[in-house]
Structure 1
Amino acid sequence: MPELPEVETTRQGIAPHCEGQTITDVVVRNGRLRWPVPEDLPERLRGQIIRSVDRRAKYLFINLDGGTVIVHLGMSGSLRVIIDNAPPQSHDHIDLTLASGVTLRFNDPRRFGCWLWTETAASHPLIANLGPEPLSPEFNGPLLFRLSRGKQTPVKSFIMDNHVVVGVGNIYANEALFKAGIHPKRKAGRISLDRYHRLAEAIRETLSAAILMGGTTLRDFVNSDGKPGYFAQSLLVYGRGGEACKECAATLKEIRMNNRSTVYCPKCQR
């Protein structure tokens, strides 16, 4: 599943081609996504100017004068910038054609993504109750410490809760906890303020590095230019269960938590 770095990489890739451009046509080939694409979406969008392309958590905002299109890539979706009039392929469900001749094309084999219309994105039910962005000043160790008091849930589940902080998906939770030296099953409420300072910084460092490298290569993910990310080359624990820890050479352990792969070092993380 595309996580925050992949979504931010997509935003950075498509924004220069879209911002300031007028939408001349909208083609919805299959509107049966996670939620049905509004039937009047093409009518709403034609003739409007894309003012900006923003991101909140794993949602992309295509901001127009009259409102915002909220886009989610789901499990397998991607947004591609098409400049050569390439014909649509299987699972190419939505096209936005711009006055420049560029087409923004949405591909989603599993159809778990979404394209929704709203006049006020910040108050939309999908957005209104989200936690802070992990790269924003509002996210820090004291916040994690305060929200974790009394929590019996494992710390890995805690930092993956979008009400606590957005965008810390499975891959990056594994990596950040390793960098902070925290065992993924440790109870969130039993972690000190000092350790939460380290964890918040590890989350920021991990996500920032992944964005710079274009995201993590996943089976279904490609950037807007069709090139896969390559942060996978830098992964310290995720996907490396049974291999040697790069810090202490101990064998990395792999377990399942909430049906997700969790890899950690039994010596470096406590």
Structure 2
Amino acid sequence: MPELPEVETTRRKIEPLLVGRVLTRIEHDAPHKYTDTHKAEGRTVTGIGRRGKYLLLQLAAAKAANTDAAEDEWGDLELLVHLGMTGGFRLEAGPHTRVTLHTDQGAVYFNDARRFGKVAVVSRGDYAAFPTLHQMGPEPLTDDFKEAEFVKLAASAGAVKPWLLSQKPVSGVGNIYADESLWLSRIHPAQTKLNADEAGRLYAAIREVMKAAVEAGGSSLGSGGGNYRQHDGVSGLFQHEHHVYGKAGQPCPRCGSGIVRVVLAQRGTHYCPQCQTRKER
């Protein structure tokens, strides 16, 4: 958490708060963690993109009056934000505020209770310092995510859930949406070497689950909506559509068997042992 649907919802919500505004100052107390943020100061946010679970704030060149010659040499820059497990933006500072984006029209605060989030300024498109982003697969809801290529990769994959979580076959699929996609496609999370039929079902399930989750504003878990909320306090709604994630001991909505929870590759994993049988290969 957050995964692609939550990050995409965040992107849409913060666009009107930041696009067109000048970042006058970026304030934090951890330069080893939030890196090169001073390079963004004096630059205008011209757009906000997303790649997998990363937000990419596009920064225009600073005006000469607001910068010096050395800063001009940095060229096109992006401000990268990874929300980690508990990161999110707010309009007011709080006890877990880690980074403050001061703009010419007010401030926006990045809160992160567990401190796993990342903020960094990089040259546009230079993600070498972020291996997951650098090697990330295609976006699941774009034409770049091609069924034939996915089927080919899946034929030699190891355990399918950790394979999805690697972000290499497709971007943005985390713990929640891997479990839901595997349930929808009737595939055991530890299944290896998917055949063409299985991989095709999983491809379609990923697209279906991600589309529905984005439309619902993502998933908010735990008491009172849990960690994930938008700056306006709005929670996601897709948790009400979960079939297996967080449902251990409850009946499978498809066959009635009890949902089980196991740990796979150090991640809690939910599936139906009746609908999702593992095949030896």
TM-score above 0.5: yes
> For structure 1, which segment, 173-182 or 223-232, has the greater mean C-alpha deviation from structure 2 after superposition?
223-232
1:53 pairs with one of 26, 48, 52 = 48
Q: Conserved in 1, the CA contact under 8 Å of 2:155 and 2:195? A: no
Please give the alpha-carbon distance, in whole angstroms, between the structure 1 residues aligned to 2:46 and 2:149: 33
Matched, 1:160 2:165: yes
Q: Is the Cα contact below 8 Å between 1:118 and 1:124 reproduced in 2?
A: no
* Residue-pair matches, total: 256
Show the counterpart of 1:239: 246
Tell me which of 115, 122, 135 is aligned to 2:119.
115
Aligned with residue 37 of structure 2, among 37, 41, 55: 41
Whether 2:104 is the aligned partner of 1:99: answer yes
Matches within 5 A, 1:66-77: 66-77=76-87
User: Once structures 1 and 2 are overlaid, which stretch shifts more, 66-75 or 119-128?
Assistant: 119-128
Q: Secondary structure at the match of 2:134?
A: coil
Task: For residues 233-252 of structure 1, give each alpha carbon's deviation from its aligned partner in whole angstroms, at most 9, with x where no partner exists.
Answer: 11001111111111121222
Aligned residue number for residue 208 of structure 2: 205
| Structure 1: segments with no counterpart, 5+ residues | none
Task: State the match for 2:57 in structure 1.
Answer: 62
Q: SS at 1:51's partner residue?
A: strand
Offset of 1:78 from its aligned partner? 0.9
1:139-218 alignment runs, 5 A limit: 139-151=145-157, 153-187=158-192, 189=193, 191-218=194-221
Shift of 1:123: 4.3
In structure 1, the residue matched to 2:6 is 6
Instruction: Please state whether the residue corresponding to 2:43 is helix, strand or coil.
Output: coil
Equivalent AA in structure 2 for residue 51 of structure 1: T
Answer whether contact 1:241 1:253 (CA < 8 A) is retained. Answer: yes
- Confirm or deny that 1:259 pairs with 2:266: yes
What value does the CA root-mean-square deviation take over the aligned residues?
1.7
CA 1:46–1:123: 2 relative to 1, 3 Å = closer
1:147 to partner: Cα distance: 1.3
Aligned to 2:138: 132
Match of 2:19 in 1: 19
Counterpart check, 1:248 vs 2:247: no
- C-alpha offsets along residues 12-58 of structure 1, whole Å, 9 cap, x if unaligned? 10012211122233222x226xx5223x523x223211100111111
Shift of 1:124: 3.5
* Separation of aligned partners in 1, 2:33 and 2:202: 38
Q: Deviations over 1:69-105 (max 9, x none)?
A: 111111211122x2xxx4x22121211122233x221
Alignment partner, residue 71 of structure 2: none
Contact 1:70 1:121 in 2 (8 A): no
* Aligned residue type for 1:37: Y
TM-score, structure 1 normalization: 0.88
Q: Which runs of 5+ in 2 are unaligned?
A: 61-75
Q: CA deviation at 1:146?
A: 1.2
Deviation track 1:160-205 (CA, whole Å, cap 9, x = no partner) reads: 2212211110110110011111111211x1x221221111111111
Distance (Å, rounded) in 1 between the aligned partners of 2:42 and 2:268: 46
Q: Distance in 1 between matches of 2:261 and 2:17?
A: 42
Decide whether the 8 Å contact of 2:154 with 2:195 is kept in 1: no
